[in-house]
Amino acid sequence: MSASSAPSPKPSARLRVFAAVGVVGAILIGSGIWLLWPAAVPEPPRVATQGLDPEIVEALDKARSAVLSSPRSAKAWGELGEVFLAHVFNPEAIFCFEQAEKLDPSSYRWPYLQAMARMHTDLDGARVCLERSAQRARSDFVPHLRLAETLLLLERFDEADAAYRKVLELQPGHPRAYYGRGRAALQRGALREALGYLSLAADNPVSRKAAEQALAELYRREGDTDEAQRHARRAQDLPADNPWPDPILASVQAKAVGINERMEQARALFASGDLAASRTLVDAVIRKDPSHAPAYKLLGSILFRQNDFAGAERAFREAVRLHPEDASSLALLGGLLAMRKQHDEAIAMLRRAVEVNPSAHEACFNLARTLAESGRKDEAITVLRTGLRFRPDAVVLHKELGRLLLEVGKAGDAVSVLEKVALHSPEDAEVRQLLQQARSATMSTKPPSL
């Protein structure tokens, strides 16, 4: 029989073929529809904008519009999350970063920023995000360091130590990694190992205070009370550790807009020593609000650090004019005037600062020093004694009081004051020298024994 004469399939057979194709198609569609159609993308979040700075509202609207225009763009979702995070809308930021990570699962930035948004409310959740970030980070040490510090906070000391070792491989000599390894060793009881790392960390402003506190704990465990007290006092006298530079977080903070956000950035930049960047932000605030007293105060501090004393004086005067009851502005202006030998006005400003805030020990010190330089030492002594009633812990006031008592011939009183200071600051060479002079003066004034 020829091919042309072959019988055609029966209708029932054709139906079975079509049915089979339909079943296979349904199976393929049911199991693999994601191969053919994009998954649904959620709507980007909103926040209540009533009362927000208009600049913040504008930045949020612009970033949200970018997501609506490109809903499958990891970059658009991530940038919206960064604007949310920069203005402390953390739940909304987390949602956006989660979408960005789904769309770009190879990036370590999005899980890192999820962690930063969770850090204060879900520390273990932040750890999980940081572990994903560190796995993808390759040579960038930042996620490894953040993971190590989070593990340390969670008291997972062995894991923290391993993460800190990775940081030191990628960034040799990093002081926070030295501190972390020292702290982890201390918790394991490896005191000699801890001492080595903590001593290295104690030489850097991003880890100095924390390292001194840990060294005090180390010596207490060893039973060396004197060394423990020495490190504890040193830690108490140190300012808070500077934040370590985090370029990922800094790029997010740069998206903050509005006066309050710019001022926070400017203060952080000033603290880190980036005066030019801080000045740029302060100038922007003043242009937007010429009556913003804190901006003029920070401007004065920037100019002072840059040795522009005339400019600093103008800025501090404007801060005082705008907010005449701000003790900090009064003290800064008074201290600058004293440095420039404008004693009478300096004394007036510093007196006002101390009246507004009696516990402002730096203003009290500057007032006493200026009075003494003006020949009014007895008055300066009275100011110091009054200041110490409000700040008995202020070593600088005790030391200045002892020095002035010695200068006015009250060596016995000076010995009493300086001996107390020496107990708290035995490493202070100036105190030891003043105390020796006071004791010598006391011995020379005693009548000879019969």
Is 448 within a domain? no
For 87, 300, 326, the CA distances from 260, given in Å and listed in that order, are: 10, 18, 18
Is 287 within a domain? no
pLDDT (mean) for 135-140: 94
Average model confidence (pLDDT) across the chain: 88
| Amino acid identity, position 411 | A
Is 149 within a domain? yes
Q: What is the pTM of this model?
A: 0.68
Give the pLDDT of residue 173: 95
Long-range contacts of 54-60 (CB under 8 A, 24+ apart): 55/257, 55/258, 56/87, 56/257, 56/258, 56/261, 58/257, 59/83, 59/87, 59/255, 59/257, 60/84, 60/87
Confidence of residue 24 (pLDDT cuts 50, 70, 90): very low
Is 372 within a domain? no
pLDDT (mean) for 338-346: 95
Confidence of residue 448 (pLDDT cuts 50, 70, 90): low
Whose CA is closest to 157, among 165, 148, 166, 167? 148
Least confident range of 255-259, 306-310, 443-447: 443-447
Highest mean pLDDT among 42-51, 154-163, 435-444: 154-163
Is 315 within a domain? no
Highest mean pLDDT among 22-36, 257-271, 331-345: 331-345
Give the pLDDT of residue 140: 96
30 or 124, higher pLDDT: 124
Is 244 within a domain? no
Least confident range of 40-49, 109-118, 346-355, 362-371: 40-49
CA pair distance 88, 258, nearest whole angstrom: 13
Per the structure, the complete domain to which residue 166 belongs is given by 56-237
Is 148 within a domain? yes
Give the pLDDT of residue 6: 45
Number of domains in the chain: 1
Is 232 within a domain? yes
Q: Give 434: exposed, middle or buried? Use CB within 10 Å, 0-12, 13-18, 19+.
A: buried
Find the CATH number of the domain harbouring 211.
Answer: 1.25.40.10
